[in-house]
Amino acid sequence: MSETKSEPLIYIMGDSISVHYGTYLEAYTKGQFHVMRRSGDTVAKTNLDIPQGSNTGDSTRLLEYVQARLKLADLRPDLLVMNCGLHDIKRDVKTQRLQVPLETYASNLEQVLTVARSHHIEVAWVRTTHCVDAIHNGMHAPADFRRLAADNEKYNQAADQVMQSGGVSMIDLNGFTRNLGSDEELFCDHVHFKENIRQLQAAFIAGWLSLWIQHRACSHKGV
């Protein structure tokens, strides 16, 4: 925002996983951060497999939104927290073609970092949560696409390389979520998580943000 902020402004851009934990994150950080997300949560929740509202979708859509949004003077967050990947690894049922090829995915992320830095905006990357072949592609699988755990891993590795090369801090939501229980205890459908898992994910990110603001305060003081 263009006005003076008493609380750091955290702008969240992500897929439907962030839609689910976002409400809890706002509650957990109230009074410490001002958390903003893309508008349209109600619309986004009607079909989480279709990117609408606050569900940004794949890396191409994320890049296009960042390029367009940051041209406006009304959004200058202290930290841009983002992720994408689950939509990128969608494979068409008929052709098996990936929605966004791996090389394009990595390039998109690099361009997002370039745009953010051109506006002097710090970025944090949320590692994409996992998918399980037997669960995702089982009886509740979407009709027109599939996801593969192997693709998920490759895309996370590519994102890791981009972020490490760019000196971007990473929030390992993937590793954290995997440690919360068995896959049957985690998922409520083919790729989304149960309500208690969403709450824990939000708490994990809130804790990371608290450490970030402490480090930022010390840096500004020259400690």
Residue 1 in any domain: the answer is no
- The torsion region of residue 148 among left (phi > 0), alpha (psi -120 to 50) and beta comes to beta
Nearest Cα to Cα of residue 145 among 61, 58, 60: 58
Distance CA 77, CA 2 (A): 9
Number of separate domains in the chain: 1
Q: What is the pLDDT of residue 54?
A: 84
Distance CA 203, CA 52 (A): 25
Q: What type of residue is 201?
A: Q
Residue 50, H or E segment: none
Residue 162 in any domain: the answer is yes
Q: Which of the four pLDDT bands, split at 50, 70 and 90, describes residue 1?
A: very low
Residue 164 in any domain: the answer is yes
Distance CA 137, CA 82 (A): 26
Tell me the pLDDT tens digit for each residue of 75-130: 889 999 999 999 999 999 999 999 999 999 999 999 999 999 999 999 999 999 99
Q: Judge whether residue 146 has pLDDT over 90.
A: yes
Residue 80 in any domain: the answer is yes
Task: Kindly state the average pLDDT of the residues 142-161.
Answer: 96
Residue 187 in any domain: the answer is yes
Share of the chain above pLDDT 70, in %: 91
Cβ neighbours for 69, distance < 8 A, ≥ 6 positions apart: 75
Residue 4 in any domain: the answer is no
Q: Extract the tokens encoding 123.
A: 């970025």
Residue 3 in any domain: the answer is no
- The torsion region of residue 208 among left (phi > 0), alpha (psi -120 to 50) and beta comes to alpha
- The CATH number for 181's domain is 3.40.50.1110
Tell me the pLDDT tens digit for each residue of 29-72: 999 999 988 775 555 556 777 888 789 999 999 999 999 988 88
Tell me the pLDDT tens digit for each residue of 166-203: 999 999 999 999 999 999 999 999 999 999 999 999 99
SS3 220: helix
Distance CA 209, CA 201 (A): 12
Residue 2 in any domain: the answer is no
Paired strand residues for 55:
14
Q: Judge whether residue 223 has pLDDT over 60.
A: no
Range of the domain at 164: 9-221
